[in-house]
């Protein structure tokens, strides 16, 4: 079985370890470069991307992870993990930095305060059996993708309440529309939502299969 690490600096590490184990991977937490060396794939969990970014530097994992990504390591980022895999982040903190990951622009906390958290069915290209029940928690969306990025899933963003008096934090309300919430570029996979919280193991199975095909 492939050995899959979960970046264990902050966020919902345990849930990913459990989901990976349930689909037959050897799942282990990664906090040190030596632990990273031993994995065939890596999951970056949901949590808080600004915190994860800081801790990545403190734990001296930035360069090792960038190197493994450049060498083809399969990585799956969920929510904050998606933000960590984005080439460009809108509404991020000035000091937050992601890995040399997917050619995409993501917007943090994109769905707005009035829909901080919501759930929606999301059809994912390459995953059979009907839409995933997707859980979004202060989730990003993908605003633009570059060449080589495949869009795997979208959701309809339809906020029910008008923006608060202060408006969206950094710009005018985005028009309601179809938002990209799942992408893949080569061995890198990212979702705005949290499959690890639902008991639906299909996305983790998809990732484990991807890791198995590479390693
Ligand atoms: N809003 C968080 C961030 O910016 C992501 C939230 C999550 O991972 N559930 O990192």
Q: Quick one: angle between helices 62-70 and 49-58, nearest 10?
A: 100
CA of 1 to the centre of ligand 1 (A): 30
- Residue 115, φ and ψ in degrees, nearest 5: -130, 50
Confidence of residue 188 (pLDDT cuts 50, 70, 90): very high
Question: Over the chain, what is the mean pLDDT?
Answer: 92
Cα–Cα–Cα angle for 201, 204, 210, rounded to 5 degrees: 140
Q: Do 83 and 106 form a contact (C-beta atoms < 8 A)?
A: yes
pLDDT per residue over 119-139, tens digit each? 999 999 999 999 999 999 999
User: Would the annotation count 124 as a binding residue?
Assistant: no
Global confidence as pTM = 0.91
Nearest CA to ligand 1 atom 2: 48
User: Does residue 164 have a pLDDT over 70?
Assistant: no
CATH code for the domain defined by 3-108+143-153+180-214? 3.40.50.880
Q: What is the CA radius of gyration of the chain?
A: 16
pLDDT at res. 167: 47
User: Would the annotation count 47 as a binding residue?
Assistant: yes
Confidence of residue 161 (pLDDT cuts 50, 70, 90): very low
Cα 136 to Cα 115: distance, rounded to the nearest angstrom: 9
Pocket test for ligand 1, best of 48, 77, 86, 113 (most atoms within 8 A of CB): 48
User: Would the annotation count 48 as a binding residue?
Assistant: yes
Strands (E), 35-194: 41-44, 75-78, 86-90, 102-107, 117-122, 132-137, 141-145, 150-157, 177-185, 188-191
Cα 102 to Cα 15: distance, rounded to the nearest angstrom: 24
Q: Where are the domains of the chain?
A: 3-108+143-153+180-214
- ipTM of this predicted structure: 0.96
Lowest mean pLDDT: which of 70-79, 110-119, 154-163, 183-192?
A: 154-163
pLDDT per residue over 22-51, tens digit each? 999 999 999 999 999 999 999 999 999 999
* Residue 119 annotated to the active site: no
């Amino acid at each position: 079985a492939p050995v899959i690490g979960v970046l264990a600096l902050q966020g919902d590490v345990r849930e990913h370890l459990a989901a990976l184990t349930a689909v037959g991977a050897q799942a282990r937490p990664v906090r040190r470069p030596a632990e990273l060396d031993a994995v065939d794939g890596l999951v970056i969990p949901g949590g808080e991307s600004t915190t994860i970014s800081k801790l990545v530097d403190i734990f001296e994992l930035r360069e090792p992870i960038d190197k493994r990504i450049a060498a083809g390591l399969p990585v799956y980022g969920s929510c904050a993990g998606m933000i960590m895999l984005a080439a460009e982040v809108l509404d991020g903190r000035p000091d937050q930095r992601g890995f040399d990951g997917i050619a995409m622009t993501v917007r943090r906390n994109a769905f707005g305060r009035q829909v901080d958290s919501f759930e929606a069915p999301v059809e994912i290209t390459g995953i059979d059996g009907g839409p995933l029940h997707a859980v979004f928690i202060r989730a990003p969306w993908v605003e633009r993708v570059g060449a080589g990025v495949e869009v795997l899933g979208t959701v309809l963003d339809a906020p029910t309440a008008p923006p608060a008096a202060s408006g969206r934090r950094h710009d005018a309300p985005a028009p309601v529309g179809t938002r990209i919430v799942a992408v893949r570029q080569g061995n890198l996979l990212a979702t705005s939502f949290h499959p690890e919280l639902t008991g639906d193991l299909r996305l983790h199975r998809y990732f484990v299969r991807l890791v198995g095909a590479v390693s």
